[in-house]
Amino acid sequence: MKTTPLVELRDVTKEFHGNPAIKNVNFELYPAEIHSLLGENGAGKSTLTKIIAGVHEPTAGEVLFNGEKVNFANPQEAMENGIAMVFQETSLVPSLTVAQNLELGNEKLLSRLRGLYISAQQFLQSLNFEVDPTMQVSQLGAAQKQMVEIARAVRHQAKVIIFDEPTATLTPEEKHHFFALVNRLKKDGVSIIFISHALEEALAVSDRITILRDGEHVVTDVVSAFDRDSIIRHMVGRTLSHEIYGEAGDKRQARPMGRRVLSVQNLSMGGIVRNTSFSVFEGQITGVFGLIGSGRTETFKIISGVLKRDFFHGGEVRLNGKPVRYRVPRPAIHDGIVYVTEDRKLEGFFETKSIAQNIYSGLLGADLNRAPVISYKEMADLAEVWTKRLNVKAIDNNSRVIELSGGNQQKVVVAKALVQKPKLIILDEPTRGVDVGAISEIHHVINELADSGMSVVVISSYLPEILKLSDRVLVYRLGRVVEEFSVEEATEEKIMYAAVH
């Protein structure tokens, strides 16, 4: 591998309004290698790759491409030179078909749809992607959108493809496809930069790994020099792995089962939730595992009133033995059922509002405010208490939530739910898009809640998280609970087997 690097960054610094996002970073990418870029949220991974892809210009330092100094003014220019970036939020046109999106940017003045579809079909087949080129992009699932995006990069004969968290929205099976593709691209001589929060994936797929922390380069080495613990140590500057997910063979005692708080019988909604039945007990964490689309989120959204069950034969939900049926979340919150969403930006927080205002909004929603009018003092005191308890890091409590990192945003959303004094709290993917340091803090809070006697439901697609937190594990498949394990008997293999077969 001692050839000239395809892409090289020398002492690159990028400042935003005087604050450096990355400082004096050196980075090399060799031809036909898969190079993972790891670091906590805010470590500067995205900034670094955006400099390579021509989105940002470096404040200082130089970028070399094929050994020559370059200065891409925009992503278009980088693309013409063979550098393509697949963004986290897809950049496809939802109202056009797959084939039209593939052609985007180099359409002819007049084009024939039929010809377009045929060539797109051939092209997608050559990549082994099962996507119908005549489908509108808005009708595709997340993984298929990702495939189209990748296909577009390949089509432009990119020499370097940058993936920014490509696997976050994929199911295990789709991930498998994705990594097969990445390996095939590598064989064809394409270099790949891979940003991910999933360390196992990075370890499995990469040739080399670079770790950033607080905008500074920490270490770059071949993959065999790392393991999980050493990566986390480099990422956060301390050992955390044990705190976060425990050792593989580490067995915990489950908390004793309390009173039956929630009992669900034959709950149904469309084709997504199908006659599911289960119970949730007090003083315990009930972990809910299932692949994306298995109906677990929808089930708990019905329980908390966010969605409605089928009108006919929709089943029954009993809270403390009494049948309940909520059409909106408000009465559920009054009864003590609080749902914390998996998509905090879409339905979690108020983006124009500050941390304090967001937390106070939760209090108002549950009608637990002391003064009959808005009390700015009560709001400040409340924010003070909760940001301290959950360790929200921000300049002050008047910072806007949208400006925080993912982990801190999640803590604000959790605080907003906890001020509503729930008896049953449902946390949907509580650590998605959250950095390693914040994960352990959020887990700590969740454990405290269960210890204090609350019923806690944690929905997660990440097995180590389920095993670390749960006292009982419910496994979802095709719209219903298919298996139940206690933590003593659960293993990753057993749970996965139940979720897939």
Which residues of this protein are in contact with other proteins, per CB under 8 A? Answer: 16-17, 19, 21, 41-42, 44, 46-47, 89, 304, 306, 328-330, 333-334, 339, 341, 345-353, 361-362, 364-367, 369, 372-374, 402-406, 409, 416, 420
| Residue pointed to by tokens 């009930």 | 286
Nearest-approach distance from CB 333 to other proteins, in angstroms:
4
When the beta carbons of 271 and 372 are compared against other proteins, the nearer one is 372
**Among residues 260 and 334, whose Cβ is nearest to other proteins?**
334
Helix (H) or strand (E) holding 12: strand 7-16
Contacts of 328 (CB under 8 A, 6+ apart): 305
Kindly state the tokens that stand for 201.
Answer: 């994936």
C-beta of 315 vs 362, nearer to other proteins: 362
Residue 395: CB minimum distance to other proteins, A = 11
Minimum gap (Å) between residue 17 Cβ and other proteins = 5
Cα distance between residue 355 and residue 465, in whole Å: 27
Question: How far apart, in whole angstroms, are the C-alpha atoms of residue 411 and residue 50?
Answer: 28
Q: Minimum Å distance from CB 211 to other proteins? A: 17
Query: Of the two residues 177 and 353, which places its CB atom closer to other proteins in the complex?
Result: 353
Query: How many Å apart are CA 182 and CA 175, to the nearest integer?
Result: 10
Which pairs count as long-range contacts for 239-246, CB under 8 Å and 24+ apart, including other chains?
240/436, 240/437, 240/440, 243/440, 244/436, 244/439, 244/440, 244/443, 244/468, 245/464, 245/465, 245/467, 245/468, 246/464, 246/467, 246/468
Using the minimum distance from each CB to other proteins, give the nearer residue, 351 or 448: 351
SS3 206: coil
Tokens of 101: 């999106």
Cβ proximity to other proteins, 117 vs 350, nearer residue: 350
Rounded to whole angstroms, how far apart are CA atoms 311 and 172?
A: 33
Specify the residue, 10 or 353, whose C-beta has the smaller distance to other proteins.
353
| Strand, coil or helix: 362 | helix
Output the six-digit token pair for 416: 């907003």
CB of 229 to other proteins, least distance (A): 26
CB of 104 to other proteins, least distance (A): 17
Provide the minimum distance between the beta carbon of 84 and other proteins in the complex, in angstroms, as a whole number. Answer: 18
